[in-house]
Amino acid sequence: MAIMPYLYQIAHHPMHILQPKHSKLNEKEAEELLSKLNVSKSQLPKILLSDTAMLDGCKIGDIIKIERKDAETDKVLAYYRVVV
């Protein structure tokens, strides 16, 4: 049946081509970011653990870096979220 390979692809490749790159910061990177921005984790914007863009292995309290390409300047901009 033709539908089965399609369902397998959806289940095992959830990232959409238009979805910006998501990466989890390690402890050292997270500490450096919080120090640089002079904020605590609770002051960062939130992202739900159940969000479809979340990476495997993420847990509550992790900091996620989201990289989006600015259409006007072609620069990659980084946004940070804490998993709740």
Cα-based distances in Å from 80 to 5, 7, 27, 46: 35, 31, 14, 9
For range 31-39, the mean pLDDT? 96
Flag whether pLDDT at 8 surpasses 50: no
Is the overall model pTM greater than 0.85, yes or no? no
46 domain residue, yes or no: yes
Cα-based distances in Å from 73 to 44, 46, 70, 76: 25, 26, 6, 9
Tens of pLDDT along 39-74?
999 999 999 988 887 878 889 999 999 998 888 888
Percent of the chain topping pLDDT 70: 79
Q: What is the domain extent for residue 57?
A: 17-83
Residue 47 belongs to domain with CATH number: 3.90.940.20
9 domain residue, yes or no: no
Q: How many other C-beta atoms lie within 10 A of the C-beta of residue 54?
A: 18
- Please give the Cα distance from 46 to 55 (Å, whole number): 15
